[in-house]
Amino acid sequence: MADSKAPSQDAPHNHGLAHTTPVWLLVSILLVLMFLTVLTVAVTSFDLGAQGNLVVAMVIATIKAGLVVTFFMHLAWDKRFHAIALAAGVLFLILFLAMVGADRGEYQIDIDRHGEKYPFKVK
């Protein structure tokens, strides 16, 4: 049986327990996401230098991610703490990648020397 009672009195929004996303917005966001996907693929046909393509791809991916998070995942209308929690998680991810990547860059020379002495061969 449907739980069709009137919305709870203490709902902070004017309809129900949470904001309802309009359909036109959802569909528009999808179209933008599809366009960005096509763009990401199209960009690979241009040579933007060793790191350029990677940077562009990551920027576009982050824009897509931002749209998904803000609109599909509702953060635009949600409690701020959820966005803070997500941001904290992403921040720690970046911290982790950055520190490890930086350190690996510094000791890579040891790995290379080892690799030269004992080159890997598929058995």
Partner 1 sequence: MATTTTTDFVSPEPSTTDNYLNNEKGLLSWLLTLDHKRIGVMYLFSVLASFALGGTFALLIRAELWTPGPTLPGVTADMYNQFFTLHGAIMVFLVIIPGIPAALGNIILPLQLGAKDVAFPRLNLMSYHVWILGACFMLLSLVLGAADTGWTFYTPYSTMTETAVIPAAFGAFVLGFSSIFTGLNFIVTIHKLRPKGMTWFRMPLFVWALYSTALIQVLATPVIAITLLMLIVERTFGIGIFDPALGGDPVLFEHFFWFYSHPAVYIMIVPAFGVISEIIPVFSRKPIFGYKFIALSSVAIAILGFLVWGHHMFTSGQSVLAGTIFSAITFLIAIPTAIKTFNWISTMYKGRIHLETPMLYALAFLWVFTIGGVTGMFLAVMSVDVHLHDTYFVVAHFHYVMMGGSITAFLGGLHYWWPKAFGRMYNEQLGRLSALVVFVGLNLTFFPQFILGSRGMPRRYYNYLEEFEGLHQLSTVGAFLLGIGFLLTAYGLLSSLRKKFDAPANPWGATTLEWQTASPPPYYNFATPPEVTQGPYDGYENLEYDEKIRGYVPTKA
Partner 2 sequence: MTDTTSETQSNAETNGHSAPPPGEHELHGKAEAHAANGNGGGHGHSQYPHLAHHFDSPQQQFDAGKLGIWLFLVQEVLFFAGLFCAYTVYRAQHPEIFVYAHYHLDTTMGAVNTCVLLVSSLTAAWAVRNAQLGEKNKLVINISITILCAFVFLGVKYKEYAHKVHEGTLWGHHFNPQHELWELDTFKSKHPESAKLAEKIAAIQFEGQAKRNPHGEHQGSGAEANAPGPTTPSLPGATAGAADSDTKVRRIQSLLLQASDETLHPLVAAGIIKHNIQATTGLERPATAHIFFGIYFFMTGLHGIHVIAGIIVWIWMLLKAQRGQFGPNYFGPIDYAALYWHLVDLVWIYLFPLLYLIH
The beta strands (E) that lie in the chain are given as none
- Site mask for partner 1 (CB under 8 A), range 53-92, x = bound: ----------------------------x------xx--x
CA distance 29 to 63: 11
Nearer Cβ to partner 1, position 17 or 95? 95
Interface of this chain with partner 2, residues 13 to 72, rule: CB under 8 A: 15-18, 20-21, 23, 26-27, 29-30, 33-34, 37, 40-41, 44, 47-48, 50, 52-54, 57-58, 60-61, 64-65, 68-69, 71-72
Neighbours of 78 (CB within 10 A): 13
- Residue entry with tokens 């203490």: 10
Q: Minimum distance from CB of 84 to partner 2 (Å)?
A: 10
* Cα–Cα distances in angstroms (integers) from residue 84 to residues 4, 70, 88, 95, in the given order: 33, 13, 6, 16
